[in-house]
Structure 1
Amino acid sequence: MNRVIYKVVLTGGPCGGKTTGQARLSTFFENLGWRVYRVPETASILLSGGIKFGDLSSAQALEFQNNLFRTMVSIENTYFELAETVDQNCLIICDRGTMDASAFVPKEQWEEIMKRNGWSSVVEVRDNRYNQIIHMVSAANGAEEFYSLEDHSCRSEDLSLARTLDNKAAEAWVGHPYFDVMDNSCDFDTKIRRTIAELVWAENVTRGV
């Protein structure tokens, strides 16, 4: 059996279940004997340092997004390269991915960020970098009564903004060959179990389970 290194992005708007999804996926695959790495969300790391995005000028915002993108790639590569040295199947769960950055800047600024960082094609940064994308829809879209930001000190989105961000995050990944959406048509526990099932049955992962 060939060793598997599988890179999955969990994306979506605020209060979509990404944190719980990461924990449950980790436990599931670790119990199967896989090594699991969880890449932290870069935006949360940077914003927790006192940066208020709404206070930035357009020039400052561009520089911030460029550095966020560059930092995200560097952090991810640390885990990706470490996985290459592991002698067992390895799952890498990314809390958001490179294309999430494109959801929050105008198209021309995103193209400038890609150019600055040496990426010539969206196929490179979206399709070839990750095996699978799972969009966990925000509770603001379909489960409004459960929408809360109590555990996210650097988040302040109301329902309307949360829906907008959720939709933008989904649109950013359209085109990836393995893009799955976990909506709120079921209860939360079922949503998490569906997320695990989508990953288990994905191409390549089943060969290692």
Structure 2
Amino acid sequence: ALLFHLKVSGTLSHTMHKNNRNVFGKKVVKVVFTGGPCAGKSTSIERVKELIDKQYGDQWNCYTVAEAATVMYSTGRISRDELIGPRLKRWQRDIIECAMTFEKVFDNIGKGEPTRHTIVLCDRGAMDPKVFTPQYMWPQILEEMGTNEQQLMDRYDLVLVLHTAPDLNYTTENNRLRREDPATARKIDMKYADVWREHPRVFEIESNSENGMEEKFAAVWNQIELLLGEE
């Protein structure tokens, strides 16, 4: 039985940006892991890092970037429901800027690395806050930041959209901040896919089986290895 299916937007021949090499000629690339609740992002990131360190550690340094929103929500008593109007606008902008700051730390490490290539695995990216931002507010935030969606997407070489697990595998037990029921989770899941749809190299990976995580990860790892092997 088919355990997953892969949707592809863009082109498989998409190559790395020309500015993705540092002064030593070493590659510096970033990958976004996104998708709805209980999609396997955190597990996939951990496993990808483990495999890169084991199989490619002599050529690549691998770093992981925590999800900015999770870091911020974990710091204290912050309720998404209480964030409205100007408070929500400031909050969403802060999440974007926080994510970009986290990423910049590892961008800078990669730029100064003389002997190995660098790959940065991001638990969500700068476009993800759009999912929880009112439609009228999003352009205002980008204008205030002096940026646009194209520039935000161009920060990343590969986007992996891991879709929410089927109902039989859906759980909130492994994330204390997760509160969505399966139906709500699926709606949110599709919104994450939508906000990244214009990226030139985005892959959507769905799990359609109770045993689908292994097949889902195989698809993830395949895309990572393709990226590692590119010139």
Regarding TM over 0.5, the answer is yes
Task: Find the counterpart in structure 2 of residue 42 from structure 1.
Answer: 68
Q: Distance in 1 between matches of 2:117 and 2:193?
A: 28
1:51-84 Cα offsets, whole Å, 9 max, x none, are 1101223221111111111111111111111111
Report matched runs for 1:1-209 at 5 Å.
2-31=25-54, 32-33=56-57, 34-49=60-75, 50-87=77-114, 88-119=116-147, 121-126=148-153, 128-139=154-165, 143-185=166-208, 187-202=212-227, 205-207=228-230
RMSD: 1.5
Q: Distance in 2 between matches of 1:16 and 1:91?
A: 22
Sequence identity percentage: 25
Q: What 5-or-longer segments of structure 1 have no aligned partner?
A: none
More helix by share: 1
- Post-superposition offset of 1:185: 3.1
Residue identity matched to 1:35: N
Q: Distance in 2 between matches of 1:51 and 1:41?
A: 16
1:74-111 Cα offsets, whole Å, 9 max, x none, are 11111111111123011100000011011111232111
Q: What 5-or-longer segments of structure 2 have no aligned partner?
A: 1-23
2:36–2:189 Cα contact (<8 Å) kept: yes
Q: Distance in 2 between matches of 1:178 and 1:150?
A: 32
Q: Distance in 2 between matches of 1:75 and 1:207?
A: 25
TM-score by length of 1: 0.91
Q: Distance in 2 between matches of 1:101 and 1:68?
A: 7
Q: Distance in 1 between matches of 2:107 and 2:203?
A: 22
Partner-residue secondary structure (3-state), 2:91: helix
1:88-143 Cα offsets, whole Å, 9 max, x none, are 01110000001101111123211111111121x321111x110000001011xxx2
